[in-house]
């Protein structure tokens, strides 16, 4: 845990705010679908907090206890470049990492009485209202910032930022910046893009999972593997999905979801 400088924690650096406004302004100006904007914003934030890579994953809770959650979608940036790749790939799966509240929460808990600043209430992360929670993990000694948020009844989203093992841990300023952006820009954790949401929600659960994998370019074999079902069953699901959306081909289906993920 970092030594925490209270001044640093309580006073937001205006330079950081301006840089964030500029970054968001670029994201807005950038033509592209939701996932491209997500990619741009998360990569920009990665640079601002001097992380090396970011990963976004959506998990669907298992129906049976003791089964791992199904990972529906991974977007990532910067994982393959730099020195991080080997240690990153050695990390345990995201959903199995034991997450603990960031030292922000700790700090707030410990200092709530001694702080008499109007901003103190803003120090709280993981407000119920946004159901987002900032967590830090020292798994594998890879400095990381993880943000988890419930996506719907059965699924949750985790966004992680990582540094190489030899790098210092993230500072309180960097935690705070990540927290503010991940809390306020609500769509970062959300599946899909408001405009993309076709009627995918009416599909049965397994077909919806298949659809998610399908429109992100996974083969029938890969989908069968991921969902632990036979390739034959995947074929049946795909037929049902095509007929649901009235399309003839995967290309046509993918065009229906320019933003990537349906709800």
CB atoms within 10 A of CB 173: 17
Q: Which of 3, 7, 15, 29 is close enough to bind another protein by CB under 8 A? A: 29
In whole angstroms, the minimum distance from the beta carbon of 122 to another protein comes to 5
What residues from 187 to 206 belong to the interface with another protein (CB under 8 A)? 187-188, 193-195
Q: Which of 1, 5, 8, 22 is close enough to bind another protein by CB under 8 A? A: 22
Question: Greatest CA separation found in the chain?
Answer: 65
In whole angstroms, the minimum distance from the beta carbon of 25 to another protein comes to 4
What residues from 113 to 132 belong to the interface with another protein (CB under 8 A)? 118-119, 122
Q: Does 134 bind another protein (CB under 8 A)?
A: no
Query: Reading across the β-sheet that carries 144-152, which strands appear in turn?
Result: 70-77, 53-60, 155-162, 144-152, 132-137, 100-101
Residue with smaller CB distance to another protein, 119 or 219? 119
Q: Which of 1, 6, 21, 150 is close enough to bind another protein by CB under 8 A? A: 21
**Which runs of consecutive H residues, i.e. helices, occur in the chain?**
6-10, 14-29, 34-48, 84-89, 103-111, 172-184, 205-214, 220-227, 231-245, 250-256
Q: Does 186 bind another protein (CB under 8 A)?
A: yes
Contact 33, 4 (CB under 8 A): no
Pairwise CA distance, residues 104 & 111, whole Å: 10
Q: Which of 1, 17, 90, 150 is close enough to bind another protein by CB under 8 A? A: 17
Q: Does 183 bind another protein (CB under 8 A)?
A: yes
Q: Which of 5, 6, 25, 232 is close enough to bind another protein by CB under 8 A? A: 25
Q: Give the Cα-Cα-Cα angle 125, 98, 95 (nearest 5 degrees).
A: 95
CB atoms within 10 A of CB 12: 15
Q: Which residues pair with 159 in a beta bridge?
A: 56, 147
Contact 260, 35 (CB under 8 A): yes
Pairwise CA distance, residues 262 & 210, whole Å: 12
In whole angstroms, the minimum distance from the beta carbon of 162 to another protein comes to 23
Q: Does 6 bind another protein (CB under 8 A)?
A: no
In whole angstroms, the minimum distance from the beta carbon of 23 to another protein comes to 9
Residue with smaller CB distance to another protein, 16 or 61? 16
Pairwise CA distance, residues 226 & 178, whole Å: 31
Residues in contact with another protein by CB under 8 A are 11-12, 14, 17-18, 20-22, 24-25, 27-29, 34, 37, 41, 118-119, 122, 180-181, 183-188, 193-195
């Amino acid at each position: 845990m970092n030594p925490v400088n209270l001044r640093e924690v309580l006073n937001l650096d205006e330079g950081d705010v301006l840089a964030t406004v500029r970054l968001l302004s670029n994201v807005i100006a950038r033509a592209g679908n939701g996932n491209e904007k997500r990619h741009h914003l998360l990569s920009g934030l990665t640079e601002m907090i001097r992380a090396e890579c970011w990963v976004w994953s959506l998990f669907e809770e298992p129906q049976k206890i003791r089964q791992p959650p199904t990972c529906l979608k991974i977007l990532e940036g910067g994982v393959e470049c730099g020195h991080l790749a080997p240690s990153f790939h050695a990390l345990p799966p995201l959903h199995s990492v034991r997450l603990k509240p960031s030292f922000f929460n700790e700090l707030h808990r410990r200092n709530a009485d001694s702080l008499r600043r109007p901003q103190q209430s803003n120090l709280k992360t993981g407000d119920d209202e946004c159901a987002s929670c900032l967590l830090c993990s020292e798994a594998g000694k890879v400095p990381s910032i993880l943000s988890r948020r419930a996506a719907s009844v059965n699924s949750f989203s985790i966004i992680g930022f990582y540094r190489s093992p030899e790098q210092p841990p993230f500072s309180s300023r960097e935690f705070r910046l990540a927290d503010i952006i991940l809390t306020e820009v609500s769509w970062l954790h959300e599946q899909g893009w408001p405009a993309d949401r076709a009627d995918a929600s009416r599909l049965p659960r397994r077909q919806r999972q298949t659809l998610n994998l399908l429109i992100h370019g996974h083969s029938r074999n890969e989908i069968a593997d991921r969902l632990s079902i036979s390739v034959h069953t995947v074929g049946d699901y795909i037929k049902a999905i095509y007929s649901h959306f009235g399309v003839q081909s995967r290309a046509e289906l993918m065009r229906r979801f320019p933003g990537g993920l349906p709800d």
